[in-house]
Each structure stands twice: as structure tokens, then as C-alpha cells.
A = this chain, B = another copy of it.
């Protein structure tokens, strides 16, 4: 067996087809594609609107066990499954999120899949791409500037300077901006207050863009953003500042899905990328809905593990966008399951069936959870070369005991040829039509009860605690008419509990809700458990130090 070249080597060797040919495969005429270079395009709003009457294809969610440093390969499997479905003769589109630019200069590499299951052009996708995130940054910061400008010119809306909740954003890992005081400098600059920056993917506008159904809905949601409160605690909205129209103008191109291709020249929509903690962590509704009109199968992914990502995909995105998934794939790796069974990272390459079996409880818990949403489940074992036959067999046996099939997938090394079995199984489940999707909780449950329901039934907490002030805040949201919204719980992605070190399948733990925030434009209430950073920092030796253009003008060091 020959060594697989690096992701970037594979991506550069890709024989890309012109993007108009990729569009043509989906029946999109050239004039309905807005090209960005020869290998990226946005789909025009007119074309999208014209698809309304067409029937929907089947929606497949790819999710995963809790992430570990061993790596699971969720995006890689999403891309691989899309290629696999195309290989077996189905017309499939992949829908994934856009990566954030800032973190590429820190520690992480790109987020466009890996091995022989990638979307390309990966360098562009990981850097400026089609400018969507820059547009979100601009729209967010326009609103911020209008808030301070309003105060500067007399504060007619009577905003309480201590209660301004709208911060600024930047698509950069810049911890120095987390907490600042400004404007300083006296009369000509404004009124000093405490504020700060989040990373762009944490902007409520990112979540709004990903949940809005069209430009009109986008503008309405932008107007509904709460920028802060008056002394009497009544909210001030973006529409009160008349900022909604200009923000929508800045976002009009960003709202259109981006079409690219996989290494195997199959179509992929890469669009939107909200955080999966303080937001819902899925690609845009517009992309998913458009893909469903154009394909028999749409394969999409949700952020982090299934406890966070899949739950939000179901309870926020599917609920609000009226989507009904046909099947869910849980990605697991032998290595990650062994970590869940207590094996340390340096020892992961040694066979350890016993630890693996112990770690399978994490997988089992996620299977059980997904079934609560009425969606049939299949497990994808994303193959690593160190996996032994006995280990793979143990995972299969574990899943089988739960009535679920676990299928070994070699898409990373072999592309679509390595994932045919999974593709056939997924297609069969979807065509059997056994899914009976329903969200976990009803809209009319109280906000705290919704949090409790997710914590108890998905995280398996014994108790949910909250200070009196937090409960009062939730009641006040309800009084203001936001009680019907779904909840979006920000929790560590590494454990079912709020303790990132508690791997496996803990239960009976306490989930403390430290803070709640209203994302009135996006349409959910965020409940924060534990410490959630919305502006990352750079490491001691950031990868930016090694990123440069080589003599041929290619990017080096990014991946």
C-alpha cells in the first residue's frame, strides 16, 4: 500500500472541472451562476426562487461521537459519502460549512475534508473564499458603529451604556480585543464604555444568515437584533437604529450559496459557518433547501459531536426550516473510541479491543440520542491504517447489538470507492422511508424546561442549575414574547457533561446554566454552561509564522 500524499498535495493535483460544468450537472444554467474565479460560483437568487415548486430530495445528516484529539473526520466523511452516493448512481450534493479564516493562522489546518475526500479549491475555501465572512464582519461592525454613533449624537433611544450587548467582530484570533474600553479621547470620539470583539463566526449575523430563508427574511431578522437595553430593561433593536436595510445590502451576495466541487467533480455547497456552541453550527438553510431541490440526496454535517451539533441541527435548523432528515450517519473512529475507553494519545496505535469496547459507550449514547428524534442511524467507521480487524469487528458488534449497522469506510485513502457500502446502506434506509423526524421538545414548553429537556435526555444530566438572575432573565425573555424560541446550549464539545475531561457516557451530572442570551434575530435563546470563548487566541508559535507563498505563488504552511 502506497502512502497517501498530504491533503494539499492531493488538492493541488485535483483535475477540477470548470464551475459552469459542475453547475450544468445540477441543471443550473451558466447565467444563473455568478463565478468567483473558474472554480467557485454563487447561485443567483432568481434561479433559487424558481425552484420552489420542485420536489425535495432526501436529507442525510452526518454527525459524530464526541470529538477527541484523535480526530474523527466528520467533514471528510460528509464529502466521501456525497462522492459515494454519486458513485452508485444517485445525484447527490454535499452541503458543508465555510471555514473561518482567523483560526487558519493559529493552530488548525483547513476545514475542507481530507485525503481523497475533499472539496476544492481548498486554499481559497480556507482563506477569503467568496467573501461571505468579510461581508458578515462588515454588516456586524456597521451596526456597532451605528450604536456608538447614535449615542454620540444624543442617544435619542436612551440606550443604557452599561447594557449594550452588541459588540464588534473580526475574523482573526485576537485575544487582545476580547475586552476593551473605548471610545477614549474625549468629546470628539464619544462616550467611553466597556466592550469587546468576538470572532466573526460567533456573530449573531452569521447565525441569521444561516437561518434566513431569503433576503426579505434576512432583513427582518437583522432588524430584530437586540443591540442593548434601556435603563428600564426594554430592548433596543437594530431596526430602531434603521440599520437593517444597509446591513442587508452588505449581505446580499453573502446570502447566495457557494458552489464548488469535490476531488471527484461532484457538486458541493459550502455556505455559512456559525459556531456550534453559542450558535447552531450548521451550513445555511438557503444552501440546504436549494440543494434539496436539485438533487436526490443532500449530505450535510453538523458541528462538534451529536450531543451539540445534531441536537441543534434537529431542534433549531430542521424545526425552523421545515426540514425532515431521512437518516443520520454517526462518524466514529477506532482511535477516538479507544480514547473514550481511557487510552492515552501516544498509545492509540496499539490494538486494545478491551478499551475500545469500553469507549463504545460514547457511540452507543449518541445512537440512542439520535433515535429520539425519529431518525434512523448508521455508523461510519472512518478507517485509520493502524486499526486492526479485531477492533473494527468489535465496533460493528457493539453497534449491531443496538440494532444499528456500523460500516467501515476508506474514503480518506480511496475516495468514493472506499465508501460505497455506506452509500448503499444510507440510500436504502432513505428509500425505505422509515424516518419519522420530530424535534425533541415542543415550541410551547418554557425556556428553562427546554434546557432541562436537552440536558436530561441528550446530555443525561441529573440536574440543571441556574442562579436566580438567570431564571429571571429567561422569564423576562418569555414576557417579551420570545418563549416560543428553541434553545441553543453552549457546552464543551468534548463530553456529554460540562467537564471536558469526562469522556465515555457520563450521566447524572449537574449542568449549571451560567448565563443566558437572546439571539432575537437568529431566533434562539443561548444557554451558556461552562466557559465559552467567543474570541480565540493565537498559540505561542502560530502557524502564521510558517505560512507563505512559494516560488510558484502557491500557499505553503496553511495545512
A residues at B contact (CB < 8 Å): 31, 34-38, 45, 101, 105, 127-128, 131, 134-135, 137-138, 141-142, 144-146, 148-149, 152-153, 168, 170-185, 188-190, 194, 196, 215, 219, 241-246, 248-250, 252-253, 537-538, 540, 542, 544-549, 553, 555, 557-558
**What's the dominant secondary structure at chain A's contact region?**
mixed
A549 in contact with B179 given A174-B148, A544-B142 (CB within 8 Å): no
Chain B's closest residue to A33 (CB) is B38
Q: Which residues does chain B contribute within 8 Å of A244, judged by CB atoms? A: 548
Distance of A171 Cα from B140 Cα, bound (Å): 12
A146 in contact with B176 given A131-B128, A249-B558 (CB within 8 Å): no
Contact B188 A175, beta carbon cutoff 8 Å: yes
Contact A538 B146, beta carbon cutoff 8 Å: yes
Distance of A185 Cα from B196 Cα, bound (Å): 10
A558 to chain B, nearest CB (A): 7
Contact B149 A538, beta carbon cutoff 8 Å: yes
Q: Which residues does chain B contribute within 8 Å of A31, judged by CB atoms? A: 38
A215 in contact with B128 given A145-B174, A177-B183, A544-B242 (CB within 8 Å): no
Distance of A9 Cα from B432 Cα, bound (Å): 55
A144 in contact with B36 given A243-B544, A246-B548 (CB within 8 Å): no
Q: What are 19 A-B pairs with beta-carbon distances under 8 A?
A: A35-B35, A127-B249, A138-B172, A141-B172, A142-B172, A144-B176, A149-B176, A149-B538, A168-B177, A177-B182, A177-B183, A179-B182, A180-B183, A182-B182, A215-B553, A241-B545, A242-B544, A244-B548, A252-B555
A134 in contact with B142 given A149-B537, A179-B182 (CB within 8 Å): no
Chain B's closest residue to A545 (CB) is B242
Contact A245 B547, beta carbon cutoff 8 Å: yes
A139 to chain B, nearest CB (A): 10
Q: Kindly identify which residue among B37, B144, B173, B545 contacts A246, using a CB–CB cutoff of 8 Å.
A: B545
A550 to chain B, nearest CB (A): 10
Give the 6 A-B CB pairs with smallest separation, nearest first: A245-B548, A180-B182, A148-B176, A134-B134, A179-B185, A242-B545
